[in-house]
Structure 1
Amino acid sequence: MVSDTIQRDITISASIDKVWAALTEEKHIKEWFGDEAEVDLRPGGAIVFGWAPHGRFHGKVAAVEPPHRFSYWWARPADTDPAPGNQTLVEFTLSEDGDGTRLRVIESGFTALSGDQELAVKENTEGWHRELDELRAYVEA
């Protein structure tokens, strides 16, 4: 049975405001999450993340609650708009943890995807592991 949810928790040695900026500002996002980013940071705003070898992934902002919660729907495959059957929900939750920030990422909705759900879970699990390590390295540098 395919899992509907991916979750990863990390601690970053940086202020919550610095981590929030890295998650929500285009100039920072493209430093750790792909090589292209467009973000209209408001509920319903368009969002695009691009990876040269993989294409551009389109989404729609779901929630913006600075500096504690940011979420968006995004589509798979690349170059499609999010819609029922091709989208998952990514939710970032930030909380202060001593001098650092605890970041939780939950991506859900895999069992509602048409297509190969197991492959989607596998690729995105590996992707979040790699990308969040890059986020931590970027923010802590």
Structure 2
Amino acid sequence: MAFPDRIERRLDLTQPPERVWAALTTAEGLGTWFGNKAQVDLRVGGQAKLAWDSGDTATLTIERLEPPRVFAYTWPIYGLPESDPRRTYVEFTLEPVGAGTTLTMVETGFGQTSEAEHQVAWPGNNTGWTNELGELVAYLDGQA
């Protein structure tokens, strides 16, 4: 049975690409909207480590970095053990539009899961991105 392999979201933001880029790639930005604390080694092959007050953590491995246009990483598939080698690929693309930015987020790689794994991973991330990107907008809108 075929099931969705990708999640895609597109946001039209009022902030310029440089501000959106900082929110996506700095410890301050990621640690505010995409976790409660973050450490970022901003280079291809570097890692971003996220921690939430709930005790959850995530480690992202940076795969593509084209400031201030493309930021991409791999990370564990939701619902699988951290030690599982399978990862999904998340790519943010920023396009200047007037004084603002169109942000496109695409996550792929769910097709490598079994049907049972997919029933946890895809819906979890699909809902998760709705929530997290809402927090990104709130974070950007709250910046001075």
- Using the size of structure 2 for normalisation, the TM-score is 0.88
Asked whether the equivalents of residues 73 and 82 of structure 1 are also in contact (C-alpha less than 8 Å), the reply is no
In the alignment, which residue of structure 2 is the partner of 1:6? Answer: 7
> Aligned-pair distance for 1:42?
0.6
Q: Equivalent pairs: percent with the same residue?
A: 36
Question: What is the alpha-carbon distance in structure 1 between the residues aligned to residue 4 and residue 55 of structure 2?
Answer: 24
Q: 1:14 to 1:82 in 2, by over 3 A?
A: farther
Question: What is the alpha-carbon distance in structure 2 between the residues aligned to residue 48 and residue 113 of structure 1?
Answer: 24
Residue aligned with 1:116, SS: helix
Q: 1:100 to 1:121 in 2, by over 3 A?
A: same
Question: What is the alpha-carbon distance in structure 2 between the residues aligned to residue 64 and residue 37 of structure 1?
Answer: 18
- Partner AA of 2:32 in structure 1: E
Question: What is the alpha-carbon distance in structure 2 between the residues aligned to residue 45 and residue 52 of structure 1?
Answer: 24
Gaps of 5+ in 2: none
- 1:39-70: per-residue Cα shift (whole Å, max 9, x none)? 11111112222223261112210011000000
For these two proteins, the number of residue pairs brought into alignment is: 139
- Using the size of structure 1 for normalisation, the TM-score is 0.90
In the alignment, which residue of structure 1 is the partner of 2:66? Answer: 65
Question: What is the alpha-carbon distance in structure 2 between the residues aligned to residue 90 and residue 109 of structure 1?
Answer: 9
Task: Compute the RMSD of aligned alpha carbons.
Answer: 1.8
In the alignment, which residue of structure 1 is the partner of 2:41? Answer: 40
In the alignment, which residue of structure 2 is the partner of 1:25? Answer: 26
Deviating above 4 A after TM superposition, structure 1's stretches of 4 or more consecutive aligned residues are none
- Partner AA of 1:80 in structure 2: E
